[in-house]
Amino acid sequence: MFSQRAVDALKEAESVVVLTGAGVSAESGVPTFRGAGGLWREYSATSLATPEAFRADPRLVWEFYNYRREVLAPLAPNPGHYAIASLEDSFARFTLITQNIDNLHRVAGTREIVELHGNIWRVRCTNLGCERYTLAWENRDVPIDPLPPRCEACESLLRPHVVWFGEMLDPEQLRRALVAVDDCDYLIVAGTSAAVQPAASMPMTASRGGAFVLEVNPEPTDISPYMSEAVQEPSGVALPRLLEAAFGG
């Protein structure tokens, strides 16, 4: 249950940021592909999500991403996704920063999104000299065929537009995220332990800047004691309730 202080601070906020992680997607049935259950065929999922794996066997990596796309295709946003989309309509300055690649926030209707780790439904060329090297475009084909796909402009390999282990984040996406966090006066951290940089620093940055920082997560995390308020509930339960308390129906 939220305190009146958390509700009042949201009502009075001028700039709101929401930071989401895997927990929000998990409520829609999205698997994490990490940990003990993160196996595909006989491969560790995390061992395939690397530039080295793609260089060694691009077809195998694309087969894995085809599988992931097939898992994601029938899934739908949950009430937490829709609550965040509704929240955007209540503020002139709003940014969603997500660590998720599943595109469910866009499907739910959120417009101002920073996708820190990319988007599994987008592809881009691997050729540094190609006009499409920095241009990612949506491809909803399930499955993508033939494998591995090639760029229509230069015939080089295409790759998923996601950030693999060992890669740097897109500097423009990171810049947008840091500017939004630095500028906000209310930050909601939902479905993430914020244990991995750069997301790990964002709640503390907002807090030091004077923002009200609300954590929404089913379990306490390492950052819970440092938040303005921490609510131990799934985002799909807590966020619609917060919206109702602050703005009514």
223 touches 194 (CB < 8 A):
yes
209 touches 193 (CB < 8 A):
no
Residue carrying structure tokens 């595109």: 103
Which residues, in sequence order, are bridge partners of residue 95? 17
Burial class (CB in 10 A: 0-12, 13-18, 19+), 222: exposed
pLDDT tens digits, residue range 15-39? 999 999 999 999 999 987 665 456 6
Query: Could you write out the three-class secondary structure of 135-160?
Result: CCEECCCCCCCCCCCECCCCCCEEEE
Active site amino acids: 117
Q: Residue 14's pLDDT is what?
A: 97
- The reported pTM is 0.94
pLDDT tens digits, residue range 113-161? 999 999 999 999 999 999 999 899 999 999 999 999 999 999 999 999 9
Six-digit token pair at 191?
Answer: 């479905």
Q: Residue 40's pLDDT is what?
A: 78
User: Residue 196 — pLDDT band, cuts 50, 70, 90?
Assistant: confident
